[in-house]
Structure 1
Amino acid sequence: MKNFLSSFYFLSLLPLSAFSNTEPKICMVLDKAGKDDHSFNQEAYNGFQKALKSLPISKESKIIEAKDENHLNQTVRSFVKGKCSIIFAVGINNADTIKLISPQFPEQKFVVIDSNVSKKNVRSIVFKDEQGAFLMGAIAAIKSKTGSIGIIGGMNIPLIQKFETAYTAGAKYVNPKINVLIGYVGISVEAWNNPTKAQEIALSQFDQGADIIFHAAGGSGLGVFNAAEKANKKDTKKYAIGCDSNQNWIKPGMILTSMTKDIEKSVLDTIQNIIDNKFTTGLYTYEISNGGINWALDKYNKDLFTETEIIKINHIKNEIALNKIQTLSKEAKN
């Protein structure tokens, strides 16, 4: 008993720093668009920074922007070698690398955000993009004066095709006769960071009669915002719709709303799981019903909507949350 009390007394005198090795080391790799993309990467970066300030994680935690595929591969392997408690890979461009590397390090915990990698040591965080895209289509149709709207995706891949289908379905849910123009920025990963090309496509859609354009193009979406500003005239208002994060502030009055994904929360939730020793792998889905998907209404765009329109939009949102609307169905009816 005496020895036990002596040991307890000794441990109580140790500084807190003596136990710092119990704090998890969090490592994150962003894709090429980087933390200043005003979109997906920035949301993940913000979550990481909040964790550093408010959660008990190691000060050796680090975040790196991948310059290209080789740099990404090297970064992930260096994270493994550096004994990171968990490795986040942000964005669909990084998923293939984790799919390749994760089986080589079965004891390492990985998290992929915005992609589904079915490996035993990977948590895949996905968002029901179709719910948000449907809602954006409905909002665009509610506000359109010309009966023509647009959507611009980064690449013509299944994920963005899902955006396109749901956006169109949402628009036709409100106005079955509405015209939807569709465009894609490119065919390589550069498509997610090419605002010049996105602006060119958006200006073309505006010229064809669209008065609202939704982007699902990552950093390229900034070009859609620029196009809305250039095409906007006193008698013919043109608007853009943001994606992934609340982008209303970027060009106030030009951005009708934004489809938001609570990426920041998904990062913080996962880190908290690690801290609590409750981390599990598998598929984690964020959607409207759990606050993972929403539309942004704030000081930058609230004057663009009437109370009646806001009530109608929120009604549609609630119907989606209750699974009363099939967001990927071209037959969705009001």
Structure 2
Amino acid sequence: MRALAIASNSRLLIAIGAVFLLLILAAAAFVITSRGGGEAIGTTTGTTTPPPAAGEKTTTPAIYEATTSEATTEQAKPISVLVLFDVGGRGDLSFNDMAALGADRAAEELGVDVVFQTPQSLAVMESVLDAASRSGEYDLIVLVGFLWQEPLEKVAPRYPEQKYALIDAATRERYDNVASYLFREQEVASLVGIIAADIANNISRATGEEAKAGAVAGMDIPPLWRFHIGYLYGVQYYNQAMGTDVEMVWTYTGRFDDPTLGKTTAEQMLQQGVRVFYGLAGLTHVGMFNAVKEAAARGVIAFSIGQDASQEWYDPQTIIISGLKRIDVAVYTAIKDVVEGRFRGGIVSLGLKEGGLGLSDEEIIRYFAEIAAKTGQLPEGLTPEKVVEIVMSQREKWISNDGWRLVEELKQKIISGEIKFVTPQDHDTYDSIIEELKAGNLEAALES
């Protein structure tokens, strides 16, 4: 999921999900940027020292669900990689920055040459991709985000020898020269559900209020179905393990680009007693962040949870944790497969086992806070270290040892394959799973 936040006269971009970001981005001038993030005319190659990779690192090969194309042969010259961002480009504190992190890591560890490009608008994406493909300069072209799907479906058949990696989306037809990287969102959402339930339960014990965790979601679409199933599963997993009765309130706003709607929705949920909010609505849920922040200023104990990139820097007093969709891992894995001659066309599925999903830790919180500081978006009075300090203090106070224990327990069950979430293919199946989960039937969310 993708997100963009704009607050206090600052351009504030926050990652929520690939499905969301491009609905709200403004057009930017076409640029080709070096790994250092500056603008250049033409093509910039070479290597620079990247920031340290954040959070979990993985060298586990990706699991291929479809494989047929020939392996890459060794080349005398360095592997050349083009990373095509979607509109908005690097510096978004979101998907694009996560993609750059993975590419920078590949440049440092694998010795590849990386070039970054950002298209001016949706209208030129196909022509940009066609020109890059026609040039024959790149061993791999990485496309970040679902809006590259249609341009890629038109261009990939024209250049069967060109290898492509599509991140957080998949082509509708299979191409031997296209590897599509998708994420098993239920897995991270289930861990977030445990955390949210634990915080809600601890708030209830402190205040005597009913324990309620909620989510402000965007549109009623399949990626959100998967988040919904995982989140509710995690809440109910916690309830059954702890003997609690934390209620989960899920609200579809129908929008990804309306922070005012997100704020009023969260305010209504606050009035209903919800005290923990999971943001899954792009720019809309930035309004949710603001509503929770204002409620906390009035003395209400309430917290938000981000998704995709670390969002704690936006308000570390109330944004206590973020679920991560590790776009950097997908990009790094795609490049590594080309370097090692293991590129294959088809679907590559990433989850907790592959390091493609997780929860924000000190390293990645600090990394995104540093980007926010460098781009002038970090709130006044905060430093990256202060952000980390505040977040860790809030976690220490409001997330119990039992909560962390259950997170680790469920995580290991998922990694081992003991738990595999079902992916609903239609709305009726989705509705049925949710109703069963509400009734406490955890098996309804799992593959049989």
Q: Fold conserved (TM > 0.5)?
A: yes
| Cα pair distance change 1:185/1:49, threshold 3 Å | farther
The aligned counterpart of 1:286 is 350
Asked if 1:160 corresponds to 2:224, the answer is: yes
* Residue 181 (structure 1) aligned to one of 250, 264, 270: 250
C-alpha contact 1:168 1:180 (8 A) present in aligned 2 = no
C-alpha contact 1:170 1:327 (8 A) present in aligned 2 = no
Shift of 1:137: 1.5
Amino acid across the alignment from 2:404: I
Shift of 1:38: 2.3
* Residue 215 (structure 1) aligned to one of 279, 293, 317: 279
CA distance in 2, matches of 1:72, 1:208: 44
TM-score by length of 2: 0.62
Asked if 1:40 corresponds to 2:95, the answer is: yes
The aligned counterpart of 1:306 is 400
TM-score by length of 1: 0.81
How do residues 1-334 of structure 1 correspond to structure 2 at under 5 angstroms? 22-58=77-113, 61-83=114-136, 84-117=138-171, 118-144=174-200, 145=204, 146-175=210-239, 178-184=247-253, 186=255, 191=256, 195-218=259-282, 221-233=285-297, 235-298=299-362, 299=388, 300-301=391-392, 302-303=395-396, 304-325=398-419, 327-328=421-422, 329=433, 330=437, 331-332=441-442
Q: CA RMSD in A?
A: 2.7
CA distance in 1, matches of 2:107, 2:282: 25
Q: How many residues align?
A: 308
CA distance in 1, matches of 2:314, 2:133: 37
CA distance in 2, matches of 1:85, 1:23: 9
CA distance in 2, matches of 1:332, 1:179: 15
SS in 1 for 2:313: coil
Amino acid across the alignment from 2:86: D
C-alpha contact 1:92 1:113 (8 A) present in aligned 2 = yes
| Cα pair distance change 1:153/1:269, threshold 3 Å | same
Shift of 1:34: 3.5
CA distance in 2, matches of 1:130, 1:214: 14
C-alpha contact 2:213 2:248 (8 A) present in aligned 1 = yes
CA distance in 2, matches of 1:324, 1:85: 38
SS in 2 for 1:116: coil
> Greater helix percent: which structure?
1
Deviations 1:216-251 (Å, cap 9, x if unpaired)?
334555443333212214642221111112323332
Q: Can you give the 5+ residue segments of structure 1 that lack an aligned partner in the other structure?
A: 1-16
Shift of 1:259: 1.0
Deviations 1:147-166 (Å, cap 9, x if unpaired)?
32222334332112211222
User: Where in structure 1 do 4 or more consecutive aligned residues deviate above 6 Å?
Assistant: none
Shift of 1:66: 3.5
